Structure 1
């Protein structure tokens, strides 16, 4: 691994990686997360985010309520093309271009 600056060099031998498995809410992924983390203090969820823990990380995890799980599913669908992801952003950009120069429409 190469280090681009002193900040990244401070993390030598402290970072683990976990492959992307979708939104991290399924119970069966817990053991794989812990396995990926091993004895490292930091975990990068590829294409997802970062996790960290202290020396006294508990063996049990906090449960996620059904309400939060349902909300997470609902919220994540906004990024899916099958559910119109980006349509509102595209429409706003088209309006902006139209205000600048409507001749683009031909």
Structure 2
């Protein structure tokens, strides 16, 4: 059987970074390819793996900063109950932390 029959079609999503996440990645935004059926939570894991120790304390929900993360999907603010939503081709994700200070 031809090998192309077994290729997985990856989805392309655009991820924009704000505040400390922009500093950790060194990028304002990037296009990332993810497997079909990747969830928002799955994308977070992909980003932590890609950027390692710089990103993990910012995104890991068990870390203090990770609990404060703000994410939007196609302009819609996500809550913790939305982490199981599947991403679609061309999805636009914004990831950031709320401003701190006083």
Q: Same-fold call, TM > 0.5? A: no
From the two aligned structures, give the one with the greater helix fraction: 1
TM-score under structure 2 normalisation? 0.21
Larger relative contact order, structure 1 or 2 (CA cutoff 8 Å, min sep 6):
2
TM-score under structure 1 normalisation? 0.21
From the two aligned structures, give the one with the greater strand fraction: 2
Structure number with bigger Rg: 1
